[in-house]
Homo-oligomer: A and B are copies of this chain.
């Protein structure tokens, strides 16, 4: 067989031991907090039927689905003439029945509908799995990446929103990352559009308002007018564009502006309730009307989380949706969820140097191998340290001392045990601290006492 220079598909990554230990730290932290709030884990298959995935992410999303070629003679149902006449997407639909999951939300909706008989509502689930998108790879954007989602379906209660924000707060507290939570409500945005009589302009409006800090009130007004709003409409928007003060101040202003919109006032109520329950949150949380993510599916509260000490954009988002399962024939099931982006968090923790020291992975103790007899003896000692829960290695070959110490250094093993003939006779272990260089003669019990947590 010809020799190949091996590589991996663009946009994908290998994770080595140190990266894995750090990624596991992220996943475990998020998982632990989800579990603490009673969310229960599920997993869905990597492949879904294309009929489940297609049409759920917009036209652009359909293009970004990875499709899996049918096995066997996939050409069976496509004649040469059809091949000539059909477009690539049409042919793909003939050649492929399955695709790789694009996110965790659609598979979750499919799961809920498929297993509705077994599920106890409200159903609180979390899911930590990779997703795949045939996006153009670039810095920080990959074709395979993990999402860490938690959702509740089957409950309208705003307590779910409250708890999800507590979860966000707790997770970043555990990471040691200072974050700011932004909250908005789709109903407030709808209310603004109602009051203005410009239902289809709400995205343009939020985009323009978002530039207030950069281009000032005049600039925003100019943009809104150029965008087709009337002077009267722009006038009505003035208190919204310059909205400031505490959350209570902002809500008071909004209640005035939205006085004629039942929906808008409902949105204010919802935000007020959620904020009212979150007075002891460690992270600042504030109403931000420019937050307009997921407008095509969110129907209530919308959240976004930004790291305060790193320029990296949103590291977390979520919101309430009222008809997730409708596309699969189960209407009227309200849900709310959040999603942590593991890759963004990885970058934040790296930049802020916040990974705990232990997240290197690997052994805490290495027995140097002085030869067959000594190694057999060390294997017995290693059984005892492992029994005490200390990750331990016995160097497998009786290689040169220098090589074995190099190995310990490269893997950042903190302690090395040297047991030669003399130590065997004395029943002692020469334990070297690889950081300080200090070396002690200890019994196996003393070594265990020193290294066990």
Interface residues of A, Cβ cutoff 8 Å to B: 1, 3-9, 12-17, 20-21, 23-24, 35-38, 40-49, 51-52, 55, 63-64, 66-69, 71-75, 80, 83-84, 88, 91-92, 95-98, 100, 110-111, 113-115, 118, 120, 122, 124-125, 130, 132, 134, 143-144, 152, 155-157, 159-160, 162-163, 166, 170, 277, 280, 327-329, 361-363, 366, 369, 375-376, 379, 383, 386, 389-394, 396-397, 406-407, 410-411
A166 to B37 Cα, complex, angstroms: 38
User: Which label, helix, strand, loop or mixed, suits the secondary structure of the A interface?
Assistant: mixed
- Taking a contact as CB atoms closer than 8 A, the residue among B16, B120, B369 that contacts A411 in the complex is B120
Asked whether, in the complex, the Cβ of B95 is within 8 Å of the Cβ of A37, the reply is no
Cα distance, A375 to B100, chains bound together (Å): 41
Residue from B1, B66, B113, B362 in contact with A55 in the complex, judged by beta carbons closer than 8 Å = B1
Closest residue to A129 on the B side, CB-wise? Answer: B130
Contact (Cβ within 8 A) A407 B88: no
Q: Given A115-B14, A362-B40, does the pair A72, B45 have CB atoms closer than 8 Å?
A: no
C-alpha spacing A307/B84, complex, angstroms: 56
Write the nearest CB–CB distance from A216 to chain B, whole angstroms. 41
Q: How far is the CA of A340 from the CA of B197 in the complex (A)?
A: 63
Q: Can you list 26 residue pairs at the A/B interface with Cβ under 8 Å? A: A5-B329, A6-B110, A8-B48, A8-B52, A8-B110, A8-B114, A9-B47, A15-B44, A17-B125, A35-B391, A38-B363, A40-B362, A45-B144, A46-B132, A47-B66, A68-B68, A69-B69, A71-B134, A80-B83, A95-B95, A122-B396, A124-B393, A155-B397, A159-B394, A162-B379, A163-B396
| Copy total for this chain | 2
A329 and B133 alpha carbons, distance in the complex (Å):
31
The answer to whether A111 touches B14, judged by C-beta atoms less than 8 angstroms apart, is: yes
A331–chain B nearest beta-carbon distance, Å: 9
Q: Are A38 and B397 in contact (CB under 8 A)?
A: no
Task: Tell me the smallest distance from the CB of A171 to a CB of chain B, in Å.
Answer: 12
Knowing that A40-B362, A47-B66, A69-B92 are A-B contacts, what are 11 other residue pairs whose CB atoms are under 8 Å apart, sorted by A's residue number?
A8-B48, A13-B45, A21-B40, A21-B41, A36-B391, A38-B362, A38-B363, A38-B366, A80-B83, A120-B410, A166-B383
A362 to chain B, nearest CB (A): 5
CB distance from A301 to the nearest CB of B (A): 14
How many angstroms from the CA of A277 to the CA of B91 in the assembled complex? 60
Q: In the complex, what's the smallest C-beta–C-beta distance from A97 to chain B, in angstroms?
A: 7
